[in-house]
Structure 1
Amino acid sequence: MAQALVDLLRDNFKEAVLSSHSHRGDEVVVVRRESVQEICRFLKDGEARMQLLRYIACVDLLTYDTEMTGGGALASNEVPAYDLAKKAPREPRFQLGYNVYSVVRKQSVR
């Protein structure tokens, strides 16, 4: 049933949906940042009926995948300057994650 939601997004936003996969029981859909507002509105007001925003999370990729942090364990202001000098900056630096839930359908998507 959750795959039907992913298919609904793919059908309605062909250019915006970059990828999708399952993670820990949730469907994860990666979309273009320019389309986030339109997709969120569609999920809320459309047939998906995703009317509960569980959370919005931001990931700072400045220190992600460095030897020192092992994948972003430290906040970027805690990383010594010499470590940052070894790594090229990642673009885009920030990623936002949204988790929305349909109380009626008992489904969520990230």
Structure 2
Amino acid sequence: MNAYLFLFLAIICEVIATSSLKLSNGFTQLGFTIITIVGYSASFYLLSLTLKTMHVGIAYAIWSGIGIVLVSLIAWFFFKQSLDLAALIGMGLIMAGVVVINVFSKVAGH
């Protein structure tokens, strides 16, 4: 169960770092640049802890799928970037894939 906790925290750190990367304005805003560097560093460290007990392909599929959806939602709400129907359907399919991996895969590390 710790693997999923570490993975969840890694995803949150990565989403914060990616959002801060947008706000860093090409690393010209020091505060957001620091948040970006610390966030990515923490996310990779937490991912490395996850990979001690979870297959890398499964961890990365969950990481990227949830990360894509969360970053897209943050961009929609906070940066006023639009999402059309195709983008929403695509994100729904990504989330469906994450669910299928976690519920039905024998290698997901249940």
Q: TM-score, normalised by structure 2?
A: 0.30
| Greater share of helix | 2
Q: Which has the larger radius of gyration?
A: 1
Q: Which of the pair is proportionally richer in strand? A: 1
TM-score by length of 1: 0.30
